[in-house]
Amino acid sequence: MSAEARRQPGPLLYASVDSPVGELLLLGDGAALRGLYMQDGSRPARISDGWERDAAPFAAVAAQLAEYFAGRRIAFDVPLDMRGTPFERRVWRALQDIPYGETVSYGEIARTVGEPTAARAVGLANGRNPVSIIVPCHRVVGAGGALTGYGGGLERKRLLLDLESGQLALR
């Protein structure tokens, strides 16, 4: 294969997966996951022209999600290709460090990423997380532990937090 052919990006691939929080749309390039969207939430992803439906590249992601919802997985091990600003990527990395079953505030994440006065900006970056559940933006709560904002809806955020705390069994 020529160097030029190797540089050409392939089509984006997608697949749908059923879950206890509704339909999940998985998006990637066959090598890494770029998006995981709750299609029943307030911001479903629209399938674009040029995307190709292909479930095979997402088999490992789907299996890990099934294990997570069954209470048998606390961390994900899938390659990610998350595209955003440098600040957003710092926030998303910090989200991945929140332990399973725990929550942190937007202010705590702001301090973690070295921007202690940027809690609102953290909230915006959190809302732009393209790989929900796997990058656990649902583990971020308001000051005092209040459930605030979640693209999938607060009922889904509560479900995920209850699952992780052991208060809910989805088998």
Per the annotation, the verdict on 116 as an active-site residue is no
Which residues are registered as beta bridge partners of 33?
A: 28, 80
Long-range contacts, stretch 114-118, CB < 8 angstroms, 24+ apart: 114/90, 115/87, 118/87
Catalytic residue among 33, 134, 137, 141: 137
Burial tier of 79 (Cβ tally within 10 Å: 0-12, 13-18, 19+)? exposed
Residue 37's SS3 state is: strand
Just list the catalytic residues: 137
